[in-house]
Structure 1
């Protein structure tokens, strides 16, 4: 599976939106956005909204569950430059634990919710479980960092 061409991985509660489509896809050189989410892969309305963003920047988009991603990502063509996006770092951790060759993970937006405290500026809210997940990812060799847009400073977690 090490031949899989994953060019960018991002945690963003919003999944695919203008910032991901217009800024990160361009900066990463991706030609395929892979949304890894067990709920969205079954929700055609959310998919159609995200597909509009992908279409506007001329890239393909796929919606897979965590397990489907683990099962088939190794079959990706070398020409596919894959941008993985998930809502939580726990999804990324599950992928890595199951052999998906993710080398780095950009932490984008993690919204404020009950029990979450500000971790970085105004975009990343975490609890102890999130921070522990970041540490586990780092221990598995994943470079975990916060960077809201490519022009912003990169903060190593």
Structure 2
């Protein structure tokens, strides 16, 4: 039976840390990027797919496409890694009935709307509210930048 083994927020989506450490750490064999921009940009999808190791299945879906596809994941034998840039993606999935036990915050860089949240993680007030909503729906939210780090429970930071 296929299952979600990692739901990660990282505004870089696919990069070396995901490809080397996290794939092995969770024994992933399929990566799904959930990002409307990436899903709708053929060149960007191709570049990301080229970064994925051979033997690892890769898909890039819009948020709506991911909901439809994740509703049917029980068939198959895949350990799925979900990657999204922002927490609102996971809130939409959860509200659509997709079961996600834990969301791992790995990389949220600073921008004009975000302020420091924890160490090198930044979040806007809106994103902090989304974290709270996700937690209230029964999904744990933790910060864990690299696999060697221990998890920091986000509920204690809100």
Q: TM-score range by the shorter chain?
A: over 0.9
Q: Any conservation in 2 of the 1:35–1:64 contact (CA below 8 Å)?
A: yes
Q: Which runs of 5+ in 2 are unaligned?
A: none
Q: For the Cα contact (< 8 Å) 1:11–1:110, is it kept in 2?
A: yes
Q: Secondary structure at the match of 1:125?
A: strand
Residues 32, 60 of structure 1: 8 Å contact kept: yes
**Superposition TM-score, scaled by structure 2 size:** 0.92
Show the counterpart of 2:115: 117
Displacement after TM superposition at 1:71 (Å) = 1.3
Give the secondary-structure state (helix, strand or coil) at the position aligned to 1:72: helix
Q: Work out which of the residue numbers 32, 35, 39 in structure 2 matches 1:34.
A: 32
Match of residue 148 from structure 2: 151
Equivalent position of 1:138 in the other structure: 135
Select which of 57, 63, 66 maps to 1:66.
Answer: 63
Deviation above 3 Å: which 4+ runs of structure 1? none
For residue 116 of structure 1, report the CA deviation from its aligned partner: 1.1
TM-score by length of 1: 0.92
15, 18, 32: which one pairs with 1:17?
15
8 Å Cα contact 2:2-2:77 kept in structure 1: no
Task: Mark the runs of 5 or more structure 1 residues left unpaired by the alignment.
Answer: none
Q: How many pairs align?
A: 153
